[in-house]
Chain A
Amino acid sequence: MALYSEKVMDHFRNPRNVGVIENADAVGEVGNAKCGDIMKIYLKIDNDVITDVKFETFGCGSAIASASMATELIKGKPLSEALALTNKAVVEALDGLPAHKVHCSVLAEEVIKKALQDYYERNGIEYDRTQFPDCDSCEHCSI
C-alpha cells in the first residue's frame, strides 16, 4: 500500500487556497520549524462567515495536504462550524493518514482555532478559552 491515499496526494500536488491574504481579519500560526512543520492561515470574515481563507505550510506531504483540506472544509462556513472542525474530520476527508502523520491533522485543527482566537481577541469578543489549544505549552515535538 502506498504511504498516502490518492486524496492526500491530490491535495499535496494541487493544494487549494495557498497563499496570503493582505489585511486578513484573522491570522493563526502553529507548529515550529525545529519539529519540521509549521502551518499558517489567513481568514477573511464577514458577518461571522469565513468568506476567504489562504494557507502557507512548511512541512511534509501530509502537512500540506491537511492544511489544504482544512481550508476547503471551512471556506464559506460560519465561525461556529469552523470552530467545531476536528482533526478526525480532516483525516476522514483525506481518506486517512498514516498513524505517524495524524499529528499533521491536529495542526490543521489547531491552526484554525488559533486564527479564530485571534479574531475574537482583535474584536474584543468574549470566548471560552477552554475550547482552544494551549500551543505555548504543547509538547508534541518534545524538543
Chain B
Amino acid sequence: MKTIYADNAATTKMSKTALEAMMPYFTEIYGNPSSLHTPGQEAAEALWQAREDIAACIGAEAREITFTSGGSEADNQAIISAARSGARKNKKHIISTAVEHHAVLHTLRRLEKEGFAVTLLDVQPDGSVTPEQVKAAIRPDTCLVTVMFANNEIGTVNPIREIGAVCREAKVLFHTDAVQAVGHLPINVGEMNIDMLSASAHKFHGPKGTGFLYAKRGVVLTNVIDGGAQERGKRAGTENIPAIMGMAAALKEACANMEENTAKMIAVRDRLIAGLSEIPKSVLNGSRDHRLPGNVNFCFEGIEGESILLLLDDKGVCASSGSACTSGSLDPSHVLLAIGRPHEIAHGSLRLSVDESVTLEDADYIINAVKQTVEYLRNMSPVWRDLISGKKEFTIKD
C-alpha cells in the first residue's frame, strides 16, 4: 500500500540536497569552529557561509542570525530577551494572540508569573489578528508584540507587514514565530518591519533539532543557554555544524523553488478543500484566502479525530487532529476553540498538510479515504444518530 504523508506541518522529509550538504561535516570537516587549527577554521568558515545563506533568504544580515536548537528555543529566547530589555525600562506588558504555538504561550505564562502583564488578542473567525487590534492593545508600558506569521494548525497567514508597521510606529519590538512560514512564503524582514523571527529547519525539509532566531541589529538578546562564547556569546554550546549546513541548504533550495512548489501545493490544497467540503456537516477551519499553501483543516460533526487518524493511517494517509485524545489532554485544540468551534466540533478535526511531492491524484485518494472514514465513524456514532434523527440540532450549518 502506498503511504501519502500529509503531516508536513508536524515535520517534513529531509531533502536529498540537505542531507548531502550535511555529510562532509560528520567525518571530514568535523573540527570545532571555536578551534584555531585548520579543521576548526574550515568549520568556522562553513558556519559563516551557512549564516550568510540563511540571512539572504529572509533579507537579513548574517550577524543578525543566531543558531538555536529549533523553533521553540528561538521563540523562548526572543520573548525572554524582549521581556528583560523591557523590564530594565519598566515596560512589562506583552501583546500576543490566543492561537500562538505553546512555545510562545507557555513562555508568556512563565513571564506572567514573574509579574509581566500579557494581553492575548482574540482572533477573527478565520484565525487572524488585525493591525487595528494590535494598535488598540499597545500601552505605554508595552515592550513586545509577538504574533505568529502563519498558524500551524489552521494555516491562517497574518498581515505581518501591517502589524510590524504598527509596532514600528509605536516603537515596540515585534517578534513573529515564523516556523510554518519560512521556506514556504516570501519573507523580507526589513520590508515586513520584523524585529525578531523564529524558524525551525525540519519544517522546510531540513534536519530536526536545529533552527534560528533572527534579531535585528540593535536588539539585545538574553541567553537562555549559558556557557561558552558561541553565537556572539548569546547562545552557548558547540554549534551543530552538520545540522546547520543541512538547514542552510534546505532553506536555499526551498526559497529557490518557492514559486514552483507553492503552485503545486496550492493546486493540491484547493482540490482537497473542494473535495472535503462535499462531506455533509463539514466546515473548513482558517482563512480561505490567506492560507499556507499546504494546509487543509476541517471539522466533521458527530465524530472524533483520533479515530479518523487511525483509520486513515490504515489506508496509508498520515494526518493529524486537534482532538483532546491526540493532544493528551482533556481539551481539544486551543486554536479551534479560539476561532469559536465548540468542544464537540473541535474534537472532530482533521489537519492535512501537504508538501510539493503530494500529487492531485494523491489528493483524490485522500478525499475518498476521508469520505469513507467519516461515513463509517458516523454510522457508529450515537451523536450522529441523534443529529440526523432531529433529537439534537446540528452545530455546522450547510
Interface residues of A (CB under 8 A from B): 9, 12-13, 15, 18-20, 29, 33-40, 56-61, 63-64, 100-101, 141-143
Q: B112 in the interface, Cβ–Cβ < 8 Å?
A: no
List 6 contacting pairs A-B, 8 Å CB cutoff, sorted by A.
A36-B323, A36-B344, A38-B381, A58-B303, A61-B306, A141-B330
Task: Let me know if A29 and B330 touch, CB within 8 A.
Answer: no
Judge whether B71 is part of the interface by a CB distance below 8 angstroms. Answer: no
Bits for B302-342, please: 1 = Cβ < 8 Å to A, else 0. 11111100110010000000011100101010000000001
Known: A35-B343, A36-B325, A58-B384. 17 other contacts (CB 8 A): A12-B307, A33-B347, A34-B344, A36-B304, A36-B323, A36-B330, A36-B343, A36-B347, A56-B381, A56-B382, A57-B381, A57-B382, A58-B302, A58-B303, A58-B381, A60-B306, A64-B380
Let me know if B383 is at the binding interface, CB within 8 A. yes
Q: Which of the four size classes fits the interface of chain B?
A: 20 to 34
A100 contacts which chain B residues (CB < 8 A)?
Answer: 328
Q: How far is the CA of A142 from the CA of B343 in the complex (A)?
A: 13
Residues of A within 8 Å of B305, CB to CB, are 60
- Structural contact, A60 and B382, CB atoms closer than 8 A: no
Residue contact B310 to A61, C-beta cutoff 8 Å:
yes
B-chain residues with CB within 8 Å of residue A13 when the two chains form the complex: 311, 314
Q: How does the 8 Å CB contact mask read for B369-398 relative to A, with 1 for contact and 0 for none? A: 000000000001111110000000000000
Cα of A38 to Cα of B325 in the assembled complex, Å: 13
- A32 to B323: give the CA distance in the assembly, Å: 14
Q: How far is the CB of A103 from chain B (nearest CB, A)?
A: 9
Cα of A59 to Cα of B385 in the assembled complex, Å = 14
- Which B residues lie within 8 Å of A18 (CB)? 380
A35-B380 in contact (CB<8A): no
Q: A56-B381, A59-B304, A141-B330 are in contact. Are A36 and B324 (CB under 8 A)?
A: yes
Tally inter-chain residue pairs, CB-CB below 8 A.
71
Q: Is the CB of B307 within 8 A of A59?
A: yes
- Determine if A40 and B382 form an interchain contact, defined as CB atoms under 8 angstroms apart: yes
CA A58 to CA B381, docked complex, whole Å:
5
Measured between beta carbons, the chain A residues less than 8 angstroms from B347 are 33, 36
Pick from B311, B328, B380: contact of A57, CB under 8 Å: B380
Give min CB distance, B383 to chain A, whole Å.
4
Complex CA gap A15/B310 in Å reads 14
In the bound complex, what is the Cα–Cα distance between A141 and B324 (angstroms)?
Answer: 11
Q: Which of B303, B307, B310, B330 contacts A35 (CB 8 A)?
A: B330
CA distance A39 to B347 in the complex (A): 15
B residues near A143, Cβ cutoff 8 Å: 330, 343
CB distance from A141 to the nearest CB of B (A): 6
A97 to B304, CA, bound (A): 18
User: Are the CB atoms of A56 and B380 closer together than 8 Å?
Assistant: yes
For the complex, what is the distance from the CA of A57 to the CA of B304, rounded to whole Å? 10
The answer to whether B310 touches A12 (Cβ under 8 A) is yes
CB of B332 within 8 A of CB of A36, answer yes
Known: A13-B314, A60-B304, A60-B306. A35 touches B324 (CB 8 A): yes
Contacts of A39 in B (CB 8 A): 382
Give the distance in Å from the alpha carbon of A39 to the alpha carbon of B303 in the complex. 12
A35-B324, A36-B324, A143-B343 known; A60-B380 Cβ under 8 A: no
CB distance from B74 to the nearest CB of A (A): 30
Q: B315 CB to closest chain A CB, in angstroms?
A: 11
Q: Which residues on B sit within 8 Å (CB–CB) of A19?
A: 380
Instruction: Determine if A60 and B323 form an interchain contact, defined as CB atoms under 8 angstroms apart.
Output: yes
**Which of A15, A56, A141 has the most C-beta atoms of chain B within 10 angstroms of its own C-beta?**
A56
CA gap between A141 and B381 in the complex, in Å: 19
Can you name the residue of chain B whose Cβ is closest to the Cβ of A37?
A: B304
Q: What is the distance, in angstroms, from B358's C-beta to the closest C-beta of chain A? A: 25
